[in-house]
Chain A
Amino acid sequence: MSANDPSDTILFAERPEWADLTPVSQYENIQPLAPIFYKPEYKDATDYFRGVVKIGEMSPRVLALTETIIRLNPAHYSAWQYRYQTLLATNSSLSAELELTNELTKAYIKTYQVWHHRRLLLTKLNDPVPELAFIEDALTLDAKNYHTWSYRQWLLAHYDRAEMWAGELPFVERLLEEDVRNNSAWHHRFFVVFERGAEAGEDIVKRELAFAKEKIALAPNNNSAWNYLRGVLDHSHVPYASQTAFVKLYVSASAPQTGTDEVVDLENPLPAQGAELPCAAAIEFLADIYEAEGKAGLSRAVPLWKSLGDEHDTIRKKYWEYRIREATAAAQTS
């Protein structure tokens, strides 16, 4: 049923095929809180829906009825819930339902219920592979939609099939190609690489560090990439100090000149031409490295925090002052 379908405008109360059902109107006392001025077609459809639920009817016409309600109010969770049970009770084709849900998912992409319905269908259909392409397509509508990403992560974790995991890194890379600041894509990468259950080996950690640094080089002021770099190091218990040479390249006010005879250093990629430097995230990172040295590093960390508070990240001035206080106090007691 499309919005232009003339059959849509015929109320259920006027449809002969529904004449046998007694509609049940909503009970509301005299002075309700936040009443909604219902459209006539919504009142009509929900009157019939309450009538259906009351007698427990589960039939093909209930599918038409619940679809009407869902299109008027996609957050009507009872309609979704009843629809799903009706699909099962009537032995309806769940692939056909998934087909319809494709359209509904894109139309109501921010609604919890449509994604939950999809999840229920998949659990019955057990055919997750085509879903990956559907999700990638849905992400073209909204590349950071939380429900869409959650669904992809659920799908991968729930089915845990090697052939599904296999395409995930190229998929993330396609998305980061479009927007290197898409934190959802960064998060997904972390999930795919480190949260599959198997421990990520040394070579994988090395690969991920190189990946994050390559992206930082392209756009240094990108918290997503820096958080990822930190995440990889934390996860694999590698000290931040291992990145000192790299981070220093982003702390100075101007990009270092590349000599023609220099080989490209994959571990320490240089900032892209025109990158805005110095980079606050790099200053913070370097200060963390010095702080971890204890008393000895304090005198080098403090000026960095000061520069963040006074110049490079003034909105968080109070935080940087706090960091100075904390580190100073820690050095005195150690």
Chain B
Amino acid sequence: MSKPVVIPPLTQKGHAAHCNRCLAGLPASLLDLDGSRMAISFYCLGTLDITGLVDQKITDTDRESWKEWIWDQQAGGVYGSGFRPGPFMTTTENQPSQHLATYSNDYSTPHIIMTYCALLSLAILRDDFTKLDRKGLLQFLRSCQGADGSFSTIPGAGDGDLRMTYCAFAISALLNDWSGIDAPRAFAYLRRCRTYEGGYGQSPTCEAIGGPTYCALASVYLAPPHLAMPLTPAERKQTTRWLLQTQNETGGLSGRTGKLADACYCFWCSASLDILGDRALLNTPAMAAFLASCQFNFGGIAKAPGTTPDPYHTYLSLAAVAIAPPETEDGSWRLQPLNTLINATTDTVKWAKEHIPARAY
């Protein structure tokens, strides 16, 4: 018989503080995040949002300048418009203004993952999205889709995988406009990523892994009914079995069969189960105990006990908890409810869906 699991408190304030520190600045040792600052910002803002601390921790001045910074990353050009990861390829000569910044070469185009992160970050900050170039964004999605149905990070890169398929689907859902993607072709690609284990690989022929499995399932369930390509009952059963198998004796979930548990996969795999309607089958107290052990004393959550925390693992751990919080006496595990398909709080997604789609004036 398994012993009853003791779950230490979730130190929400510390995790929010960790992310607040990262928003203020990252050390030079994290230079390799230069090309993904928008994603880091999203994980930090997402942490403040999911802990319900946005209003308390973000001053009005910060909120306004951060929104401005994000809009500065929106750029338009021959491939359409979207958001760049940060200003690392912009120049003083091409300073953004209130008007849409432009890119004039292939080396400073928008990036599809960063665009997804920017839209959600702006929604967390409750922006009104009047500056969004919706037409340009649809064109950008089209520019990213390749002949095989996959989406590349930037137009023409040819580096397509399921992460970007998900971003294209999530952006289409937020816009409530599916004209930017060729869904049948995207699904043909997605299906090629499915493996004999029941999970999905990052691209066709690759090993089943948690993150891309979430991306595949969320895409399938985000698609509107007339475009949907649901799993067969047998596929669903097999996927649920594989997802549950990723929980090991530590209580944590691993990304692939036989690998070590990792806090981020607690999200990717449990969110996948939630999408399939099978989240209740997972051992919630055991997973929470694992995540509790990944908490860093001075704030932040790491991928595994004893390793260094970062905003990515912090946010995803909290998101995993928010889907199905464990019952504890101290109530410390209660978070804002999550919209699993979009991966932001339900309030933020509601705001996004009210403000991002084009409106007939």
Contact = CB atoms under 8 A, between A and B. Distances in A.
Interface of A: 24-39, 42, 46, 50, 53-54, 56, 72-78, 81-82, 111-112, 116, 144, 146, 149-150, 153-154, 157, 181-184, 186-188, 190-191, 194-195, 222-224, 227-228, 230-231, 234-235, 310-311, 314-319, 322
A31 B65 contact: yes
Ranked 3 nearest A-B pairs via Cβ = A231-B196, A31-B65, A187-B207
Given A81-B106, A191-B205, A318-B281, A235 B196 contact: yes
A146 B34 contact: no
B87 A28 contact: yes
Interface stretch (B135-143, B215-223, B250-258, B334-342): B250-258
Residue of A33, A111, A184, A319 most packed against chain B (CB within 10 A): A33
Contacts of A78: 35, 88-89, 107-108
B244 interface: yes
14 contacts: A24-B93, A27-B94, A36-B27, A42-B28, A53-B108, A56-B105, A73-B32, A82-B107, A150-B202, A187-B206, A231-B197, A315-B2, A315-B248, A315-B283
Contacts of B159: 112, 116
Given A27-B96, A34-B23, A36-B30, A154 B205 contact: yes
A6 B31 CA distance: 22
Contacts of A230: 196
Given A34-B37, A73-B35, A76-B34, A227 B205 contact: no
A37 B27 contact: yes
Residue of B32, B108, B257 most packed against chain A (CB within 10 A): B257
Residues of A contacting B: mostly: helix
B298 interface: no
A195 B108 CA distance: 38
Contact of B66 (A33, A82, A314): A33
Nearest to A23: B91
A317 to B, nearest CB: 7
Given A37-B28, A315-B247, 15 more contacts: A24-B92, A29-B65, A33-B38, A34-B37, A36-B26, A38-B28, A46-B88, A53-B108, A154-B205, A181-B258, A183-B257, A190-B196, A222-B258, A227-B242, A316-B244
Contacts, number: 194
Nearest to B240: A319
Contacts of B272: none
A315 to B, nearest CB: 5
B94 A183 contact: no
Contact of A53 (B28, B107, B205): B107
A257 B93 CA distance: 81
Contacts of A28: 87
Residue of B106, B154, B205 most packed against chain A (CB within 10 A): B205
B78 interface: no
B274 to A, nearest CB: 14
Contact of B91 (A24, A181, A190): A24
Contacts of B314: none
Contacts of A146: 202, 206-207, 209
B286 interface: yes
B162 interface: no
A190 B206 CA distance: 10
Contacts of A188: 207
Contacts of B96: 27
A265 B89 CA distance: 65
B36 interface: yes
B153 interface: yes
Interface in B114-155: 121, 153-154
B208 interface: yes
Interface string B56-75: 00000110011011101000
Interface string B98-110: 0000000111100
Given A36-B26, A37-B25, A31 B257 contact: no
A50 B91 contact: yes
Contacts of A310: 1
B1 to A, nearest CB: 7
Given A27-B91, A29-B69, A235-B196, A318 B280 contact: yes
A191 B197 CA distance: 12
B88 A157 contact: no
A183 B258 contact: yes
Contacts of B204: 157
Given A183-B257, A316-B283, A29 B245 contact: no
A74 B28 contact: no
B257 A81 contact: no
Contacts of A186: 257
B297 interface: no
B69 A39 contact: no
Contacts of B37: 33-34, 36
A154 B205 CA distance: 8
A74 B33 CA distance: 10
B31 A36 contact: yes
B203 interface: yes
B288 interface: no
Contacts of B269: none
B2 A317 contact: yes
Contact of A153 (B30, B107, B206): B206
Contacts of A37: 25-28
A36 B259 contact: no
Contact of B205 (A29, A144, A195, A228): A195
A30 B61 CA distance: 11
Interface in B7-41: 22-23, 25-28, 30-38, 40-41
Given A50-B91, A231-B196, A34 B26 contact: yes
Given A28-B87, A78-B89, A150 B206 contact: yes
Interface string B190-203: 00000111000111
